[in-house]
Structure 1
Amino acid sequence: MSSLSLNRFQEEVMKLPLAGVEAILFSDDLQIASEDAVYDFVLKWTRTHYPQIEERREILGSRLGRCIRFPFMSCRKLRKVLACNDFDHEFASKLVLEALFYKAEAPHRQRTQAAEDSSSTSHRFVERAYKYRPVKVVDFGLPRQQCVVYLDLKREECANLFPSGRVYSQAFHLGGQGFFLSAHCNMDQQSSFHCFGLFLGMQEKGSVTFAVDYEFAARTKPGEEYVSKYKGNYTFTGGKAVGYRNLFAIPWTSFIAEDSPYFTNGMLHLRAELTIKS
């Protein structure tokens, strides 16, 4: 089916019958901020149309729950799935476990799984064109609060950023605060050429201040190890961002070139480490 923005037409979609909602949610071309938003919409729709909890569990277990691509939901939201009474606990546990196993897979295994799944009806391992790019997050509580965030961008996604585009990651959390990464094509202020930039922003606006050590790295050929590109520290206030306008210290044409050392099998692998300053 053709592309449809769930956010833009949510009121209309809320009025659709079950079969109509299924048709929309099964689409790979659905325009949506993130899979978390699909989950929220499904709950909203089922609670509106099926006020009885038993009916709702049946519809979610047999029909609409299968439209949600749990592997692309944030871990924060997956925890909420386990605590949600609308889902049968066994059904929810199975889906969340499957999602977590998928997130733990290496990118090439994920691509293989997606290719195999594209011929099935559910497409649960096929990534939609999310407004906010999914990230993989590893959290640490000791010795200091820290998270390591992995953001993968396809070469064509990067190419589409030229000359002044930007793409945002889904939110991730550290110390109770929401953060995001944003990748940009921008002008290098000193050399006046286009280049690839990476920035770290804090979501909440307000008076909160938050001191963070951060480091950006990218997987680099020939060794394909993550190589540190930029590190610093910053005291965030809500809505502020920090980063580097020319992450790789090269012009855009060199970054995006076929022989660029930063793309592995057509994928740019970025890593950000955030640590709360003690």
Structure 2
Amino acid sequence: MKDFNSDLFDPGMVMDSSSSDYSRSASSSDADFGFAFNDSNFSDRILRIEIMGDPVEARPDSEGCTTIADWARHRKRRREDIKKDNVVDLTLLPDEQILNENQPDMDDFVPSENQDEDAVAMVEEPPSGDEAANSNDSNWNMDCSAVVRVRTLHISSPILAAKSPFFYKLFSNGMRESEQRHVTLRINASEEAALMELLNFMYSNTLSITSPPALLDVLMAADKFEVASCMRYCSRLLRNIPMTPESALLYLELPSSVLMADAVQPLTDAAKQYLASRYKDITKFQEEVMGLPLAGIEAILSSDELQVASEDAVYDFVLKWVRTQYPKLEERREVLGTRLARLIRFPYMTCRKLKKVLTCNDFDHDVASKLVLEALFFKAEAPHRQRILAAESASFNRLFVERAYKYRPVKVVEFELPRQQCVVYLDLKREECTNLFPSGRVYSQAFHLGGQGFFLSAHCNRGIC
């Protein structure tokens, strides 16, 4: 059975090569049906697009926005105003609530913060006659009055259904509306330009716009109407545009439904890589990094190439940042416990610092105890076992992977008798020893004995023959 949660014409779709439909789908991936767009000769349905007045401004997000930063500020301003007004754009009639069996009842509907971004589809014309008289929906007339204009397009249901699970379900769910010639969509005015670009893409596999704000608008529309190939296309174009800290952060802060799409994964990966590379040395950009949002900090802390003195310094930085960004203790504990703690590599922290973790009020006690115990068990393993653990977990958890520290971690074994002493192990790989020639030097992290701090230094001495 086919998975209709995928774009049937999407080249990125994984299909069983033994399927009889595989070759047809693959060969159709680049098919250009642009000639049939809005042409009654090649259409079997009429799409009626009812354009609602935006709660804030009836203009597209990308209009007047020349940069991604402008786009982000504009959308944030609109979301804040809509949240303040707490307005629901549309209340559907009881018999128009269902596009698929998973859609919630309107009685249970709670307006979200991104309500302006939720396109609502209708599949029937307004009720009339006895049907209207029997309707209990008193908001219908109010909703109709909010329509500022209507656009009508001739569409081909097979083309749209093949590109989008949204339209596939709409046209083939066996309900009365799936057999009707007229289909109605309701959108906000700010979504009109993006929807028209999306519909054209579903026919021609290309877009006429190239600016980052406009591409982001189309990406959001493609997510709503489940057009994976268009999401992938927009993602590829955005990756080819030189990235900035503002654009990288914006890509990482897109709505969760967009971020979870496989088609956008390469874009978010590129954004994370850009931020990790730019802020590799957090001490050099300390003031700038302290102002980054949570998504940016997560991208930086995920990197193995972070240039820091030691993991102790990473821990201190995280505490400083989270105390600045989240003044309330409950919020700090939540962010640390669920988001940031997994990015601190506790096994490479010193035992002195791990003791402080246990008494740190910013961490939930149970969370801190678990993290410290896990780190101590790792430290107690033999070096070859540590390497095995690091390799086994590297694909899903970088906790046991060592970063490129300026000061190398050491293993310290302390003895109290017959006198206070310690044995310190500094492990270097063969290539690291090679890099010491002719005048390189490696320093270890500090260790303590008798209340005094010490460190080891490895360097190359060339003897005189």
Residue in 2 aligned with 1:111? 387
Residue in 1 aligned with 2:437? 162
Q: Does 1:48 align with 2:320?
A: no
CA RMSD of superposed structures (Å) = 1.0
Q: Does 1:34 align with 2:303?
A: no
Q: Does 1:179 align with 2:179?
A: no
Q: Match for 1:77 among 332, 353, 377?
A: 353
Using the TM superposition, give the Cα deviation of residue 10 of structure 1 relative to its aligned residue in structure 2, in angstroms. Answer: 1.7
Using the TM superposition, give the Cα deviation of residue 12 of structure 1 relative to its aligned residue in structure 2, in angstroms. Answer: 1.2
Q: Does 1:140 align with 2:429?
A: no
Alpha-carbon distance between aligned partners in 2 of 1:105 and 1:7, rounded to the nearest angstrom: 32
Over 4 Å off, 4+ runs: none
Using the TM superposition, give the Cα deviation of residue 9 of structure 1 relative to its aligned residue in structure 2, in angstroms. Answer: 1.6
Residue deviations 1:62-98 (CA, integer Å, cap 9, x gap): 0111110000000110001001010011101001000
Amino acid at match of 2:414: D
Residue in 1 aligned with 2:362? 86
Using the TM superposition, give the Cα deviation of residue 187 of structure 1 relative to its aligned residue in structure 2, in angstroms. Answer: 2.4
Using the TM superposition, give the Cα deviation of residue 151 of structure 1 relative to its aligned residue in structure 2, in angstroms. Answer: 0.7
Residue in 1 aligned with 2:176? none
Amino acid at match of 1:179: F
Q: Does 1:131 align with 2:406?
A: yes
Alpha-carbon distance between aligned partners in 1 of 2:417 and 2:359, rounded to the nearest angstrom: 26
SS at match of 1:46: helix
Alpha-carbon distance between aligned partners in 2 of 1:132 and 1:13, rounded to the nearest angstrom: 22
Amino acid at match of 1:17: P
Using the TM superposition, give the Cα deviation of residue 146 of structure 1 relative to its aligned residue in structure 2, in angstroms. Answer: 0.9
Residue in 2 aligned with 1:12? 288
Using the TM superposition, give the Cα deviation of residue 141 of structure 1 relative to its aligned residue in structure 2, in angstroms. Answer: 2.3
Q: Match for 2:424 among 149, 156, 176?
A: 149
Residue in 2 aligned with 1:209? none
Using the TM superposition, give the Cα deviation of residue 186 of structure 1 relative to its aligned residue in structure 2, in angstroms. Answer: 2.3
SS at match of 1:187: coil
Which structure has more strand as a fraction of its residues? 1
Structure with bigger RCO (C-alpha 8 Å, 6+ apart): 1
SS at match of 2:437: coil
Residue in 1 aligned with 2:30? none
Using the TM superposition, give the Cα deviation of residue 142 of structure 1 relative to its aligned residue in structure 2, in angstroms. Answer: 2.8
Instruction: Structure 2: give runs of 5+ residues left out of the alignment.
Output: 1-272
Alpha-carbon distance between aligned partners in 2 of 1:180 and 1:135, rounded to the nearest angstrom: 9
Using the TM superposition, give the Cα deviation of residue 29 of structure 1 relative to its aligned residue in structure 2, in angstroms. Answer: 1.2
Instruction: Structure 1: give runs of 5+ residues left out of the alignment.
Output: 193-278
Residue deviations 1:186-219 (CA, integer Å, cap 9, x gap): 222xx25xxxxxxxxxxxxxxxxxxxxxxxxxxx
SS at match of 2:461: strand
Using the TM superposition, give the Cα deviation of residue 143 of structure 1 relative to its aligned residue in structure 2, in angstroms. Answer: 2.8
- Which structure's CA Rg is the greater one? 2
Alpha-carbon distance between aligned partners in 1 of 2:419 and 2:360, rounded to the nearest angstrom: 31
TM-score norm. by structure 1 comes to 0.66
Alpha-carbon distance between aligned partners in 1 of 2:360 and 2:333, rounded to the nearest angstrom: 11
Alignment of 1:117-266 (within 5 A): 117-120=393-396, 122-188=397-463, 191-192=464-465
Alpha-carbon distance between aligned partners in 2 of 1:153 and 1:8, rounded to the nearest angstrom: 27
SS at match of 1:85: coil
